[in-house]
Amino acid sequence: MKTFVLTTVGSTGDVVPHLALARGLLARGHRVRVCSHSFHRDFFQKAAIDFVAVGAPLEVADFNRLMDLAAREGAPIKQFDVLVRQLFLREAARAFSDLTAAMSDADFAVCQRFDYVGQEAARKRGIPWASVTMVPQLIPTAEAPVYPTPNLGKTFSKMTWIALENMAEPTNKHAASVLRSLGCAPRKLDVAGASSPLLDLVPASPVLVQARGDWPRHVKLTGAWTVGAPADYQPDNKLADFLASKPLVFTFGSMGGSAGRDTAVLLLDAVARVGKPAIVQHGYSGLMTGASLPPRVMAVGHVPHDYLFRRASCVIHHAGAGTAHAALESGAPSAPVPHLFDQYYWAGRLHEIGIAPKVIFRHQMSAKKLAKHIEEALGMGARASALGARVAAEKGVEAAIAAIESVG
């Protein structure tokens, strides 16, 4: 039995896969501690998993403001720069102290690619650590250009990666400077974030992500890390009855920022145009909270995605890594509306495998466009069901733990 410390930063979609990994490690008889932002505490405490909040307290309202700020930047690399400066390295000295203390008895650490500070705590403690890359489009390869650039051959692909490195240089210089101020030894940062030279875990389905032949050998595409509904989960009678109608399900999770009211009006208009019943999850922006809803629309708080999506005719979502995989595994088609950064990639991949229409971005969304988006997705149900069955058979967490145990 070993003590594992898992560290992660970001949104719910960045955190929930770590909950799946934590459960898997506990089932193997290991001790597990998870470190992240304070507002993620409930996810882990409800699952009886040891949780340590690191850095300055961060509330949902603070996170929403950051998402608003990042989304206003047009280019994904600039959106990432906002997240690095104001979220991932927020009060880095305090976070570094908290994380170093949390690893005092650790045998092994698993640190998300964007948790620079968690990685540095593991390095300071001298313990082996693996990284978790939830954005596989950031792993350089000569086989493909930077997403979504058209593939014009290896020479062109290499040029796009060089160009991306140059664009990322200001962000990396800032991150390196902050880490030096903590007394950390210099190291090369990746195009975005940083990965372990020992083991880099990619918690994604091979149905959705293509492993590249020139990826380093320590990069392991494991399959998705999804969290199923608790065995004892029971919806209330109203929700159970509503789900029998195979409604549309809207969930923008951690996205939405402070624009919840405007988004709610747009969604209700789109639902009326499609003419199907719909469930809207409140999410961080409180969609539909306190609103007067038409009879065929229901608003809900937290409902396990595994349970909810399997009963949906279509899932309309922001295309975060975790939500995209949960929708894929459920067998429901997707109508993705990416808001920022890696969501463009996941939305694009869902389209490319034939279970989602062509991407529309949040800033382009209108009720008319969204309704058309949904109607197109509804025609993709058969393919979504077939691919979902393949993904459901994967053992991503088990593969990740086997890889960890082989090096740790």
Instruction: Dump pLDDT digits (tens) for 221-254.
Output: 999 998 877 777 888 899 999 999 999 999 986 6
Q: Give dist(CA 279, CA 300) in Å, integer.
A: 7
User: Is residue 365 located within the same domain as residue 277?
Assistant: yes
For residue 301, is pLDDT > 90?
A: no
User: Is residue 209 located within the same domain as residue 291?
Assistant: no
User: Is residue 265 located within the same domain as residue 292?
Assistant: yes
Residue 244 lies in a domain: yes
Kindly give, in sequence order, each residue whose CB lies less than 8 Å from that of residue 256, ignoring residues fewer than 6 positions away.
Answer: 64, 67, 263, 283, 284, 285, 287, 339
Residue 327 lies in a domain: yes
Q: Give dist(CA 240, CA 69) in Å, integer.
A: 38
Strand, coil or helix: 363:
helix
User: Is residue 179 located within the same domain as residue 256?
Assistant: no
CB atoms within 10 A of CB 366: 12
C-alpha distances (whole Å) from 25 to each of 30, 216, 332 are 6, 25, 29
User: Is residue 342 located within the same domain as residue 381?
Assistant: yes
The pLDDT of residue 256 is 55
Query: Would you list the DSSP string of 115-179?
Result: -HHHHHHHHHHT--EEEE-S-GGGS--TTS-STTS----HHHHHHHHHHHHHHHHHHHHHHHHHH
Residue 232 lies in a domain: no
The pLDDT of residue 285 is 67
The pLDDT of residue 252 is 82
The pLDDT of residue 341 is 83
Q: Give dist(CA 179, CA 84) in Å, integer.
A: 12
User: Is residue 49 located within the same domain as residue 184?
Assistant: yes
C-alpha distances (whole Å) from 86 to each of 70, 83, 147 are 10, 5, 25
Q: Give dist(CA 96, CA 87) in Å, integer.
A: 14
Give percent of the chain above pLDDT 90.
73
Which residue, 359, 354, 358, 357, is CA-closest to 390? Answer: 354
Q: What is the CATH number of the domain that holds 351?
A: 3.40.50.2000
Q: Give burial (CB, 10 Å; 0-12/13-18/19+) of 38.
A: middle
Which domain range does residue 348 map to? 237-392
What confidence tier does 255 reach under pLDDT thresholds 50, 70, 90? Answer: low
User: Is residue 191 located within the same domain as residue 336?
Assistant: no
For residue range 348-391, what is the model confidence (pLDDT) as tens digits? Answer: 999 999 999 998 887 788 999 999 999 999 999 999 999 999 99
Over the chain, what is the mean pLDDT? 92
The pLDDT of residue 228 is 77
User: Is residue 38 located within the same domain as residue 180?
Assistant: yes
- What does the DSSP 8-state code read for residue 342? T
For residue 340, is pLDDT > 70?
A: yes
Provide the number of structural domains found in the chain.
2
User: Is residue 255 located within the same domain as residue 204?
Assistant: no
CB atoms within 10 A of CB 275: 9
Helix boundaries (H) for 275-408: 305-309, 321-330, 343-352, 367-378, 381-392, 396-407
User: Is residue 67 located within the same domain as residue 192?
Assistant: yes
Residue 309 lies in a domain: yes
User: Is residue 341 located within the same domain as residue 214?
Assistant: no
Residue 102 lies in a domain: yes
The pLDDT of residue 265 is 83
* pLDDT winner (highest mean) among 6-15, 281-290, 346-355: 346-355
Higher per-residue pLDDT: 140 or 286? 140
User: Is residue 134 located within the same domain as residue 256?
Assistant: no
For residue 98, is pLDDT > 70?
A: yes
Q: Give dist(CA 96, CA 119) in Å, integer.
A: 9
What confidence tier does 65 reach under pLDDT thresholds 50, 70, 90? Answer: confident
Q: Sheet harboring 200-202: ordered strands across?
A: 50-53, 31-36, 3-7, 108-112, 129-132, 200-202, 219-221
Residue 220: strand pairing partners: 201
Give, for 266, the enclosing helix (H) or strand (E). Answer: helix 260-274
Q: Give dist(CA 250, CA 25) in Å, integer.
A: 32
Q: Give dist(CA 1, CA 382) in Å, integer.
A: 44
The pLDDT of residue 361 is 81
